[in-house]
Structure 1
Amino acid sequence: MLPPSWDHQPTPVTALAPDPLTPTRDITHAHFQAGDTVVVLKGVAGGELWGESMRVVAPSWHTPTDEDGWRLRDATGGSQSYVTAHPRYLVHLSLRCPDCLIYLRAMEDALLARFADRNELIDCGWYTTTALGQLVHTADARA
């Protein structure tokens, strides 16, 4: 299994694709700790999963889900250096934990074949950031 590509890349092409796994992923707040390096998977690039790498900073209430979340820092800055995210959106990069590896493999199985014929950076359109700096999966968005 190849690791996901977590480097920042050129502006992605949006190709809406359903996310069959993240909305029902059962990962608790305790699975991650301050200081962990994580990736939020967002799509595919050149035959690998693609996402944004961030560092877990501190506990933070995730308002869109009304559950414990994590404040994340994007070391590269960009338009927003800090966001709050639900634990089910995160995958360990700094650890090779079984739960995250199983999730990665399942995401690869679900997505890579679907975009095998495309080489560009593809954002599957699963996430948005609210005005409060909360990263929200489309399945968790409130009307």
Structure 2
Amino acid sequence: MPETRPVYLPADIHTPDRDITHQHFRPGEHVVVLKGVAGGELWGDAMKVVTPSWHTPTDEDGWRLFDPSGGARSYITAHPRYLVHLSKRCPECLTHQQAMRRYLVPRIDDSDEAVDCRWYSLTALNQLVHIADAAAARSGR
């Protein structure tokens, strides 16, 4: 039987340290949460910013998002540092996206299949939490 290697999923070295304010986003804007790579390009979940909402895992201001493909979890809350503008070309989001692309794309096989790097999970309260924020919460920050 052939030996199978574990899948290598790179750590997200950019998002946890991203310094972005809550005011950077506005209701009605379209954003993406970058989650991995597909076909040599960044891949993620596209959503619409709805309204301010407290982000419990980080104990900071977040945004309530509408995920049109979310099913039972159509509305989730996320921290602003997880979000990248889709509806406008702002310099900060473009810089973050380019840094993620330079770091991540070369580290994942060039496959058409979407590779989710498993940086995010959803809490029971539909709060999107990055693995670094979840670890900080467990350690008491």
The TM-score, its normalising length taken from structure 2, stands at 0.88
> 4+ residue runs of structure 1 moved beyond 4 angstroms?
none
Q: Percent identity?
A: 65
Alignment RMSD: 1.3
Per the alignment, residue 68 of structure 1 pairs with: 61
Distance 2:58 2:130 in 1: 10
Per the alignment, residue 33 of structure 1 pairs with: 26
The TM-score, its normalising length taken from structure 1, stands at 0.87
Query: Residue type of the partner of 2:100?
Result: M
- In terms of fraction of residues, the more helix-rich structure is 2
Instruction: For residue 113 of structure 1, give the secondary structure of its aligned residue in structure 2.
Output: helix
Which of 102, 105, 108 is 2:98 aligned to?
105
Larger radius of gyration: 2
Please say if 1:49 is aligned against 2:42.
yes
- How many residues end up aligned between the 2 structures? 130
Please say if 1:24 is aligned against 2:17.
yes
Distance 2:102 2:71 in 1: 30
Distance 1:19 1:79 in 2: 27
Alignment gaps of 5+ in structure 1: 1-13
Question: 1:32 offset after TM fit, Å?
Answer: 0.1
Distance 1:112 1:17 in 2: 10
Q: Which has the higher contact order (CA 8 A, sep 6+)?
A: 1
1:35-86 deviation per Cα after TM superposition (whole angstroms, max 9, x unaligned) = 0000000000010000000000000000100110000001223341010000
- The worse-fitting range, judged by mean Cα deviation, of 103-112 and 15-24 is 15-24
